[in-house]
Amino acid sequence: AMVFDNLIDNALRYSTTRRTLRIQARQQGAQVVFDVQDQGVGIPPEELSRVERRFVRGRQTRASGSGLGLAIVGRLVRDHGGTFTLESVVGSGTTVRVSLPMME
């Protein structure tokens, strides 16, 4: 639950006046893949790899926050044997993809 709380909070926090989220889940082999997509400000390419670190926030962000949300998500997902990726286009939004192994 904490993973999705952080992802949804981030998506809303970094949205502009258009607060639209798209959340999808699908099975892909032995994984369950979740996408959380916003239509917010986006993350510049040079910052994508850095915003997953603790206490790092985008340089152009106006939203408040500690810079821990994505770091927490990444850690929890990895601790459960999954993967976490970010795709973003400045001015169009960000998609966070979480893949977790299915339980038997």
Look at residue 77 and give its three-state secondary structure: helix
Contact in structure between 48 and 41 (CB atoms under 8 Å)? no
Backbone angles phi, psi at 40, to 5 degrees: -90, -155
pLDDT of the residue at 68 = 66
d(CA 10, CA 53): 14
Contact in structure between 20 and 38 (CB atoms under 8 Å)? yes
pLDDT of the residue at 102 = 93
Residue range 8-55, pLDDT digits in tens: 888 887 777 777 899 999 999 999 999 999 988 888 888 877 776 654
pLDDT of the residue at 78 = 92
pLDDT of the residue at 53 = 60
Q: Which residues pair with 38 in a beta bridge?
A: 21
Residue range 6-21, pLDDT digits in tens: 888 888 877 777 778 9
